Structure 1
Amino acid sequence: MKLVNDMTVWFLKRRFERIEQFMKYPVETQQRIFSELIETARYTEFGSRYNFGQIRSVKEFQDQVPVSTYEDLYPYIERVLKGEPNVMWPSPIEWFSKSSGTTNARSKYLPVSPEALEECHYEGGKDMMTLLINNRPDTQVFDGKGLSIGGTLHANPFDDYTQIGDVSAVIMQNLPSWAEFMRTPPLEVALMDHWESKLEKMASICSQENVTSILGVPTWTIVLLDQILELTGKKNMLEVWPDFEVFVHGAVSFEPYRDLFMTKYFPSDQVLYLETYSASEGFFAIQDDVNRVGEMLLMLDYGIFYEFIPVEEVGKKHPKALLLHEVEVGKNYAMVISTNAGLWRYLIGDTVKFTSVYPFRVKVSGRTKHFINAFGEEVIVENADHAIKVAAQKTDCLVANYTAGPVYMGDGSRGSHEWIIEFTKAPENEQEFSHALDEALREVNSDYDAKRYKDMALLPPVIHFVPAGTFYSWMGKRKKLGGQNKVPRLSNDREYLDDLLGDIPSANS
């Protein structure tokens, strides 16, 4: 396999010149992408409706085309689902990615064009490894297998000629044979529908392979790793895979899980952790420097044109959208994308902060709908992840999962936040953990601190310390098991809290 590793490294190293090019000319790169998108889609129905043929500048594009949510674009997407051609994008659409729907009660179906597969998702996968090589030139990661947890595929109920599935499943199904050779488990296992059976087979197969990398969501990777440890009787994963080099993670913040991976699963400073930012809609950013934890390089030449709306503008009829050269470091922006799959000025639902410009690096700060602001405290996921991490470090514990929401003010009673937290290693003193969490939130969020001042508006948080497996069982009940599904971290209502608390006997006593 050494020859395979050396050839792959040589090939991928050549790609770094292209990355350096858009880092050096980011604004020009995005202008080129914009022009290509508009020109390609000018004769689609969407392009005709919004006069793409007459658009000569980004400002004209912004003036003519509204910012859209999924619900706004769904009438077009539904027609594509039913097989109608040339609606939003001229290329035939044979695949649709199904989102987890964490910001919406119903699933979302998003078109995946041939261009999106080749120029976005596959480019992202190659560049992910290119940037790994740039950080570790002597890597031997291609001497072994890359493990990835796939989703599932189903026939499109609207059109017999197309398929629907998690974006990971769509990508795996279309991988070239050479890429399939380098990964595990086999495709027929990776795309199995029944999650528990899939995990069992994956654990059996992958425990026998020389796995050197994993690409996955931390929460579901933990479930698989625990199953492998139970099956093999080993103390940690390096006893199973001694040549393991890198865990490429995404979809949820890694901060609540970092200590768990570094102590329980891969207790070695030789193991790298590389963050990516991708979704059903596209591949957006990759951590280009392993020392810049939480910061990712925005990938600007994947057929995606970016705009950024200040969070205070979100919800307005005509929100002000900024281009790359207009953004500021440290400010919260809702991300808007126009893509080579025909999503136009699509409000993806994520919020990001720029950590640097030239080159443009971002960190995911939360969701436009995942926050708690019942009392003017404006707590976002980034705040919650930080507080969880600080509290866990102060009380020597390891958090596996959590969710939180408001306790509304009643007749003469003050409000608070209610948390449900599952631990891999529980704190010895629950009260100490609760206090540390509250204090960390107060330090990182001045609005929360103001509401907590002398308990005037908000009382201390109410925390339910729940047994291992609680969230897994709950996600299973909701039919949300699988790598593309995420536990909702924060909610501005009690939908998730009340549903989850209803499954916990101690919470009802």
Structure 2
Amino acid sequence: MKNLFLPLLIAATRLIKANFLRQTRHTAAVQEKFLLTLLREYQNTEVGRKYKLGEIKTVAEFQERIPILPYSSYEPYIERSAAGEANLLTPDPIVYITLTSGSTGKKKLIPATRRSQNILRNANLVSMGFLSDALRRRGQEFGKVLLTNSAQIWGKTSGGIDYGPASVGVMRMDKRLYEQLFSNPFETLLVGDSLARHYICLLFALCDRNLRGIIANFPMLILRTCNYLEKYGEELIQDIEKGTIAPWLELETSLRQQLEFQWVANPSRAKELREIIKNEGRLTPKQVWSELAFVGTARGGTSDFYFERFPSYFGDIPVFGAVFSSAEATFSMYPELDNDSSVLAIETGFFEFIPQDEWQSEHPKTLLATEVKPGQRYRILVSNYGGFFRYDIGDVIEVVGFYEKAPLIVFRHRLGGLISSTTEKTTESHATQVMQSLQQEFNILLEDFCLTLSEDDFPARYLVNIELVAGQALENSQAFLASFDDKLKEANTHYQISRKDTIPAPHLRILAPGSFAILRQRQLERGVPDSQLKFPHITEDRGFLGGLKVEMEIGL
């Protein structure tokens, strides 16, 4: 029965995706129906009574009567819900609370109900339908995947509700579905230690010659998995050959026993892998899984910077964005491989868009999904079954076209993700575009980067902090810095204007090897889950890189 599950699931996802496609031809009607149904079903919650949701009969009335609200407006209700009070934000019982990573801001608590999780599952199935069809057009088929995310619950609230990262809630509530998709057993995701979990996941996945995909929340995490595969290749092969699990791994005794019960020696596979190391000098995903068809991870924002390093591990294997989502909402699904644009998820929420010229307004006017224009950037608002109404998450998206009558959007940056020496407002999108181009121009690979501002200059100068990938060398640092300056002028006109007379010339700082690993460790120590690791590539926090060794600083 298990062998039949995946083909049946893929057939179902194609039907669900086809239905979604039909809905995109009627975007305005679908969005209106979603909103009015949501208002009717949530009118008797405490928030529903406060804003008299039951009296609202049109989209225009909704926009007129409900204010645009940030997280802080919902926080008191969520805290009371976590303590056990019912019917505050949602009429349905809250079954899980997501604790956001806080890696780029304050941690937030986000409630989930069975209904909101079902809606999220449907969006994931639509995404799988898009992926399956895209692979089929390439003559490939969808199959099992490697996932290394933790599935550990962090604890219970005072009201007895489980809490933890978003992916944990999703996987646990749909465990029977997802365990059919993973090449590694579900128990591998219960390992607490990050290195041990990645090692064990790789151990099982390496024995699946037909693995089709590798997925992780962010590209940086995909690269980390590749690094583990390369670094521990010999140890993994030895365990595969002998049917052992390395004794030096930090594993809970009971969990080690469960995993050892499922683990068997595979000498023939070990021989194949050892031959790869002999011929290639290392293990890479493209070499060890000949059927690998896709990598699933976040696209848009800063992702393109990390994609520069993907070919050394994956060759031309395509990258699929799956869904663009946060703990609060699912915003869109990706219809194609190797493409940053995604289709607005018109069945998961009611969406509004704040045009750029309204961002400073106290009461900004919003546009509906059918009113946005390609080439324009917007702040996106959502109302959904999580109990949020006109919620401003702070994400900036760009509309790049339409899929039938639903917008195609690309995530660009968080609203607060910018730095200014004067008033130029350089965003993460500007920075990522420039650093990606510099890697190509100078044929180098960077481990990571972060733009900061100097402390002793006024106005402050830009500090371009980079760490080179091991074995890489920057031959002409002056030319690199000059090109950074020129490219940022091209990307950000306001920087170009201010650089003429007010902003001092930038400096390049080459950080010691391991610097960004130290930053990631600092995040882990702050309680950020390792599957949610990300950090700003631009920051006005002068102490963000404090304590890191600067090997060389270069000025123009």
Q: TM-score under structure 2 normalisation?
A: 0.83
Partner of 1:48: 49
1:428 aligned partner, one-letter code:
E
Asked if 2 retains the 8 angstrom alpha-carbon contact of 1:95 and 1:112, the reply is yes
Q: Percent identity?
A: 21
Output the CA distance in 2 between the equivalents of 1:344 and 1:241: 45
Partner of 2:162: 163
Asked if 2 retains the 8 angstrom alpha-carbon contact of 1:33 and 1:301, the reply is yes
Asked if 2 retains the 8 angstrom alpha-carbon contact of 1:149 and 1:215, the reply is no
Asked if 2 retains the 8 angstrom alpha-carbon contact of 1:335 and 1:351, the reply is yes
Paired residues for 1:15-414 under 5 Å: 15-104=16-105, 106-120=106-120, 122-137=121-136, 140-150=140-150, 152-160=152-160, 162-210=161-209, 211-216=211-216, 217-232=218-233, 233=277, 234-250=282-298, 253-262=302-311, 264-267=312-315, 269-274=316-321, 276-290=323-337, 293-302=339-348, 304-314=349-359, 316-357=361-402, 358-407=405-454, 410=457, 413-414=458-459
Output the CA distance in 1 between the equivalents of 2:148 and 2:49: 41
Asked if 2 retains the 8 angstrom alpha-carbon contact of 1:44 and 1:88, the reply is yes
2:24 aligned partner, one-letter code:
M
After TM superposition, give the deviation of residue 415 of structure 1 in Å.
Answer: 2.3
Output the CA distance in 2 between the equivalents of 1:507 and 1:430: 10
Output the CA distance in 1 between the equivalents of 2:3 and 2:481: 50
Cα displacement string for residues 87-128 of structure 1 (whole angstroms, at most 9, x for unaligned residues): 011110010111122342x311101121221112x1222122
After TM superposition, give the deviation of residue 85 of structure 1 in Å.
Answer: 0.6
Deviates more, 1:234-243 or 1:443-452: 234-243
Aligned residue pairs: how many? Answer: 494
Output the CA distance in 1 between the equivalents of 2:534 and 2:423: 26
Deviates more, 1:221-230 or 1:133-142: 133-142
Output the CA distance in 1 between the equivalents of 2:497 and 2:435: 20
Partner of 1:459: 504
Equivalent position SS for 2:309: helix
Cα displacement string for residues 440-479 of structure 1 (whole angstroms, at most 9, x for unaligned residues): 21112111111122xx122232232224432222221232
Output the CA distance in 1 between the equivalents of 2:191 and 2:464: 33
After TM superposition, give the deviation of residue 501 of structure 1 in Å.
Answer: 3.1
Relative to 1, partners in 2 of residues 1:79 and 1:391: Cα closer, same or farther, differing over 3 Å? same
After TM superposition, give the deviation of residue 273 of structure 1 in Å.
Answer: 3.6
Output the CA distance in 2 between the equivalents of 1:391 and 1:151: 38
After TM superposition, give the deviation of residue 186 of structure 1 in Å.
Answer: 3.0
Output the CA distance in 1 between the equivalents of 2:174 and 2:468: 37
Partner of 1:418: 463
Quick one: which of 510, 517, 520 aligns to 1:475? 520
Relative to 1, partners in 2 of residues 1:271 and 1:335: Cα closer, same or farther, differing over 3 Å? closer
After TM superposition, give the deviation of residue 432 of structure 1 in Å.
Answer: 2.5
Partner of 2:488: 441
Asked if 1 retains the 8 angstrom alpha-carbon contact of 2:377 and 2:398, the reply is yes
Compare CA radii of gyration and give the structure with the larger one.
2
Output the CA distance in 2 between the equivalents of 1:376 and 1:294: 29
Output the CA distance in 1 between the equivalents of 2:188 and 2:357: 45
Relative to 1, partners in 2 of residues 1:188 and 1:142: Cα closer, same or farther, differing over 3 Å? same
Output the CA distance in 1 between the equivalents of 2:499 and 2:356: 24
Cα displacement string for residues 280-301 of structure 1 (whole angstroms, at most 9, x for unaligned residues): 112221221336x321111111
Partner of 1:484: 532
Output the CA distance in 1 between the equivalents of 2:193 and 2:319: 31
Deviates more, 1:150-159 or 1:78-87: 150-159
After TM superposition, give the deviation of residue 378 of structure 1 in Å.
Answer: 1.7
Equivalent position SS for 1:360: strand
Output the CA distance in 1 between the equivalents of 2:41 and 2:446: 47
Relative to 1, partners in 2 of residues 1:124 and 1:288: Cα closer, same or farther, differing over 3 Å? same
Partner of 2:257: none
1:299 aligned partner, one-letter code:
A
Output the CA distance in 2 between the equivalents of 1:395 and 1:309: 38
Deviates more, 1:134-143 or 1:78-87: 134-143
Q: TM-score under structure 1 normalisation?
A: 0.90
Give unpaired runs (5+ residues) of structure 2: 234-276
Asked if 2 retains the 8 angstrom alpha-carbon contact of 1:169 and 1:191, the reply is no
After TM superposition, give the deviation of residue 50 of structure 1 in Å.
Answer: 0.3
Cα displacement string for residues 324-354 of structure 1 (whole angstroms, at most 9, x for unaligned residues): 1222222221111111110121111210010
Quick one: which of 545, 548, 551 aligns to 1:500? 545
Relative to 1, partners in 2 of residues 1:94 and 1:8: Cα closer, same or farther, differing over 3 Å? closer
1:482 aligned partner, one-letter code:
D
After TM superposition, give the deviation of residue 249 of structure 1 in Å.
Answer: 1.0
Equivalent position SS for 1:326: coil
Cα displacement string for residues 35-83 of structure 1 (whole angstroms, at most 9, x for unaligned residues): 1111110000000000001011122222222211111211111111111
Output the CA distance in 2 between the equivalents of 1:102 and 1:179: 26
Equivalent position SS for 2:212: strand
Equivalent position SS for 1:349: strand
Asked if 1 retains the 8 angstrom alpha-carbon contact of 2:446 and 2:466, the reply is yes
Asked if 1 retains the 8 angstrom alpha-carbon contact of 2:145 and 2:215, the reply is no
Asked if 1 retains the 8 angstrom alpha-carbon contact of 2:464 and 2:509, the reply is yes
